Amino acid sequence: MKKILIKTDGNSRIASGHIRRCLSIAEILKEKGASVSFWFSDEESPGILDRFTGSSDSFPYMMEKPAEKYEFLLLDSYSISESEFSGYRKYAAKTGYIDDLRCFDPDVDLLINYDPDPPEDLYHAPVKLLGTAYAPLRKQFAGPSIEIKEKAKRILVSTGGTDPYHILTGLLNNADPSLQYMAVIGAVFDAGYRSELQRLAEVRKNITLCENVSDMAGLMRSCDIAVTAGGTTLYELCACGIPSIVFTMADNQLEFTESFYKRNAIWYEGDARKDPALLTHILSRINLIISDQDSRRIKSDTAHAMVNGTGSFSIADAILSII
């Protein structure tokens, strides 16, 4: 049995996207017969993993440096500097890295960058998996695009694992009563913010809060439009063909969100950190497109063509092949 280790982390500051995408790869590797363990440094990370899997027994994890050598180590962390990659080779025969910072050429055997415009000349890893076809999504997203209805009625709203700028409450407080809003509560929302959203949903009956969703692809495909931050959720929405209104709230979201926008795959409305009128822009965009079936169909077709939903399978196959 192939023994694989994944080093990543998640918490209320960096959110849960790193753990989510690594888990998507881990689940495929496990299905293919590999033994997969996680290596965490942050004390919040095990809880996030358990919430995603629904069980503390799904994947073993460690908080200390591994005492044995693995056949492959997958690294996914912003805290690793360029000079540290060589040191990780003592823990595994082969190493890999998921890169979306585009800042340096890491010393690894397998490099993954699923941006629409990855910097191909930057990397010198023997195996390079580049482009949106390698977005590491859960297997539930490897499916067809949605039907584009004449009029949009259901809107998915997501900010990813966290919502530091309270985009959800801003949008839902101004929700059109004629539309249905499916608001996704992130994995590391604090208790106070959860309570605020619950009170809002009790008052406004056209708001449904969605937490610990096991079939996120099904939830997305039940909606006609999405409002989302530019993280992993954007790739999931593209795989489902959901016409999406996108905003950013972190530096690592900027370049790939702009690439999707330039390809006419999304509407981009601004950065939550800089644009005080962001909510106004988003609400205006919703009003413009709910009856514009043609515009929504163009976005849906373009997005689905960019992200096919099978990236985790391709990454798992490449890892097993390299070892």
Which structural domain range is residue 119 located in?
3-139+309-322
Tell me: do 245 and 267 sit in the same domain: yes
Nearest one of 176, 241, 244, 184 to 209, comparing CA atoms:
184
Same domain for 118 and 148, yes or no, is no
Place of tokens 């709203």: 157
Same domain, 232 and 114: no
pTM, 2 dp: 0.85
pLDDT at 160: 87
Same domain, yes or no: 126 and 148? no
Quick one: 154 and 294 in the same domain? Answer: yes
pLDDT score for 236: 95
Per-residue confidence (pLDDT) for residue 188, from 0 to 100: 81
Find the CATH number of the domain harbouring 172.
3.40.50.2000
| Domain containing residue 29: CATH number | 3.40.50.11190
E-strand stretches of 120-186: 127-130, 154-158, 180-184
List the chain residues with pLDDT less than 50: none
Domain identity same for 60 and 183: no
pLDDT at 56: 66
Maximum alpha-carbon separation in the chain: 59
Tell whether 237 and 265 lie within a shared domain.
yes
Q: Tokens representing 215?
A: 């079939």
Q: Which of 127, 84, 91, 79 is nearest to 106 (CA)?
A: 84
Are 256 and 206 found together in one domain? Answer: yes
The 10s digit of each residue's pLDDT in 194-221 is 999 999 999 999 999 999 898 999 999 9
Give the pLDDT score at 16.
83
- What pLDDT score was predicted for residue 176? 94
Tell me, yes or no, whether 208 and 270 share the same domain. Answer: yes
Q: Are residues 190 and 203 in the same domain?
A: yes
Q: Considering its fold, how many domains does the chain have in total? A: 2
Q: Which residue has the tokens 């997969």?
A: 36
138-167 pLDDT, tens digit per residue, is: 999 998 999 999 999 999 999 988 899 999
Q: Does 89 lie in the same domain as 148?
A: no
Residues 78 and 169 in one domain: no
